Amino acid sequence: MINVTINGCHIQVPKETTILEAAEKCGAHIPTLCHMNLGELGIVNQSSSCRVCMVEVAGRPALVPSCSEKVTEGMVITTDSLRSITARRMSVELLLSNHPKECLTCAKNLECELQSLAQELGIREIKWEGERLDYPKDQSSYSLVKDPNKCVMCRRCETMCNDVQTCGILSAVNRGFGAFVGPAFNMDMADTSCTFCGQCVAVCPTAALTEVNNTHLVWRELNNKNRHVVVQVAPAIRVAIGEMFHMAPGEITTGKIAAALRRLGFDGVFDTDFAADLTIMEEASELVHRIQHQGTLPMLTSCCPAWVKFFEHQFPDMLDIPSTCKSPQVMFGAIAKTYYAEKKQINPHDITVVSIMPCLAKKAEAKRPEFTKEEDSNVDIVITTREFAQMMKEAGIDFANLEDQPFDSMMGESTGASVIFGTTGGVIEAAARTAYEWITGDTLENVEFKALRGLEGIREATITIGDMDLRIGIAHELGNARKLLEDIRDGKSSFHAIEIMACPGGCIGGGGQPYHHGNMEIIKKRQEAIYREDQGKAKRKSHENEEVLRLYEEYLGKPYGEKAHDLLHTHYIA
């Protein structure tokens, strides 16, 4: 242990502790901007570029950045001296000197970390009104908007894109005053191999990276009497959206969401969880089929669109491994415009399908040519959790105090298996619950496969199903996925099935979720809530969903059959 003194407080901390971490233990808060340490996810941004966290160390002539400087034996540190505070203010003022001052209309207004810092440091004037950058915004993609003029060169996005996701899209462009983070040669994002996972957006402290906002499109549809507007809500929304209405992280708000959507005027209020159960019917059938007919193994899940884009770009020689199942979001759209339209006797061209997703890649997924046949899309408009909250605020909905309501029937029933889709490991656990009963013919009493749970980046488990040992791999974050994929390519993988989700923690940590500002406790609370919601469900296996069973009986025929293939399966493009 190392002895240090911080603002007169003597403490012992382990070797390798940074001054910033040690100060926290002494109750001394040091403001930061570029710093990002996502705890047990092992994600750390080490750029030390913003110089906001400067502190004094006795015997050192210059101030030191506390986020990167490690403590040494006997170190005496002052975090609140006039000199440190003045230096911090100067760093922030310099950043503000060429920053667009459009806070009132900015997409990150009241969620911007630079704005909060200016407030925290009591900055009331900026001494140096400098030259401004004047780069065009990149609005080339369906998922995210890049505004280089708001980039503060913290490099957090670069860490997420390069170190965590191993996509290598973002790095410093230009030098000195004109520098910003963007793709090589400042190409349009749409022309790069960006997966649109949105993790760069999730960690950007300012509005240099934000989502494409589609709320105006939803308002337009809701106010068009000729449209029948249906909505689906992804599993991860219900455990996170409360955070935007001052509710505690991990509060389950499923019933309030249904109530709010009805208030907003949707004609059909449905649950993506219904489609997640449907996905399991198809995916578990596909897995059983591949196992029984010596098909390609391992089978990889295919419901995360950033992951799909990643393997299309990075592993084009392996496109036969992922499941051919469309994602639940797209399956929902396909069923809404066929079965639902037929039952309700509505022309499918008059139906608008809106999705509320925790994810930016879902916006791009909905626009894939395979899902937008003859100008009729499976899904028409995708908004994120944040955009949904924004719409409620615009409509004056007091979300926290809404009475719970159920989803509409036909595409609203769901089981616990579908709820757990929202966290890493959930899709494969849901598939295992169904595969177990289908293969053995026995009732699965204990549905919780705890070995598949957790937040480690790569997890492995073997589940015994009858006389078969089903070997399962799980990865979240694309860098971890890459490792599993490389093993498969090298012939070193012995898994039967692998689940991959691009975002840390799975969809609960998606790029469209309420900003967690690096607080991993929030992700954990969301994950716990997902498992609580599963536990509270009367039915916990996808093949027990009666509305899904009725859909097969009345419309699709058998799982993995011809009609199901037409509507619910897809292909991948190198």
340 binding ligand SF4? (CB under 6 A):
no
Binding mask 145-164 for ligand SF4 (x = CB under 6 A): ---------------xx---
> What is the pattern of x (binds ligand HC0, CB under 6 A) and - over residues 401-420?
--------------------
By the rule CB under 6 A, 359 interacts with ligand HC0: yes
Spacing of C-alpha 96 from chain mean position? 29
Kindly list the distances between the CA atom of residue 269 and the CA atoms of 232, 341, 360, in Å, as whole numbers in the listed order: 7, 14, 21
Q: Tell me how far apart the alpha carbons of residues 145 and 139 are, in angstroms, rounded to a whole number.
A: 5
Q: Contact 513/383 with Cβ under 8 angstroms?
A: no
Which among 516, 458, 484 is positioned nearest to 236, based on CA atoms?
A: 516
Tokens 């002494």 -> residue:
26
Q: Please report the sign of the dihedral spanned by the C-alpha atoms of residue 411, residue 415, residue 419, residue 420.
A: negative
- Which of ligand HC0, ligand SF4, none is residue 115 near (CB under 5 to 8 Å by kind)? none
Closer to ligand HC0 by Cβ: residue 115 or 385: 385
From residue 318 to residue 357, the character string flagging contacts with ligand HC0 as x (rule: CB under 6 A) and all else as - is ---------xxx---------------------------x
Site string for ligand SF4, 161-190 (x = CB under 6 A): x---x-x-xx--------------------
315 binds, among ligand SF4, ligand HC0, none (CB under 5 to 8 A by kind): none
Question: d(Cα 215, Cα 217) in Å, to the nearest integer?
Answer: 5
Contacts of 209 by beta carbon, 8 Å cutoff, 6+ apart: 144, 145, 146, 147, 157, 200, 201
Rule CB under 6 A: is residue 475 a binding residue for ligand HC0? no
Catalytic residues: 283, 286, 303, 323, 362, 365, 370, 507
Does 421 contact ligand SF4 by CB under 6 A?
Answer: no
Interface mask (CB under 6 A) for ligand HC0, residues 424-453, using x and -?
---x--------------------------
- Binds ligand HC0 by CB under 6 A, chosen from 57, 236, 321, 351: 236
**Of the candidate residues 148, 182, 198, 457, the single one contacting ligand SF4 (CB under 6 A):** 198
With beta carbons less than 8 A apart as the criterion, state whether 510 and 359 touch. Answer: yes
Q: Which of 340, 394, 360 is nearest to 218 (CA)?
A: 394
Q: Which does 165 bind (CB under 5 to 8 A by kind): ligand SF4, ligand HC0, none?
A: ligand SF4
Rg of the chain in Å (alpha carbons): 25
State the chain's maximal CA–CA distance in angstroms: 80
7: which 2 tokens?
């603002």
Closest CB to ligand HC0 among residues 150, 476: 476
> Of these, 149, 159, 199, 301, which contacts ligand SF4 (CB under 6 A)?
199
Among 250, 422, 425, 509, the residue binding ligand HC0 under the rule CB under 6 A is 422
Determine the size of the site formed for ligand HC0 (CB under 6 A): 21
Q: SS3 for 339-370, per residue?
A: HHHHHHCCCHHHEEEEEEECCCHHHHHHCCHH
Asked if residues 274 and 412 have their Cβ atoms less than 8 Å apart, the reply is: yes
Q: How far is the CB of 195 from ligand SF4 (least distance, A)?
A: 4
b/e map of 125-158 (b: 16 or more CB within 10 Å)?
ebeeeeeebebeebeebbbbbbbbbbbbbbbbbb
Give min distance, CB of 504 to ligand SF4, in A: 11
Residue 84 binds which entry of ligand HC0, ligand SF4, none, with Cβ cut-offs from 5 to 8 Å by kind?
A: none
Of ligand HC0, ligand SF4, none, which one does residue 506 interact with (CB within 5 to 8 Å by kind)? ligand HC0
Stretch that binds ligand SF4, among 124-132, 192-200, 342-350, 381-389 (CB under 6 A): 192-200
CB of 197 to ligand HC0, least distance (A): 10
Sign of CA dihedral 480, 483, 486, 492: negative
Tell which one of 65, 148, 205, 235 touches ligand HC0 (CB under 6 A).
235
Name which of residues 448 to 477 contact ligand SF4 (CB under 6 A): none
Structure tokens at 138: 């990149």
**Does position 305 bind ligand SF4 by CB under 6 A?**
no
> Is residue 196 a contact residue for ligand SF4 (CB under 6 A)?
yes
13: Cα within 13 Å, side-chain hemisphere: 24
Least gap, CB of 142 to ligand HC0 (angstroms):
14
- CB burial of residue 90 (10 Å; 0-12, 13-18, 19+): middle
Site for ligand HC0 contains 500 (CB under 6 A): no
What is the spatial distance between Cα 483 and Cα 509, in angstroms, rounded to a whole number?
Answer: 21
Kindly state the number of chain residues that form the binding site for ligand SF4, as judged by CB under 6 A. Answer: 13
Would you count residue 304 as binding ligand HC0 (CB under 6 A)?
Answer: yes
Give me the torsion for CA of 541, 544, 548, 549, rounded to 10°: 140
Q: Which residues bind ligand HC0 (CB under 6 A)?
A: 234-236, 272, 276, 303-304, 327-329, 357-359, 362, 421-422, 427, 501, 506-507, 510
Binding site for ligand SF4 (CB under 6 A): 160-161, 165, 167, 169-170, 194-200
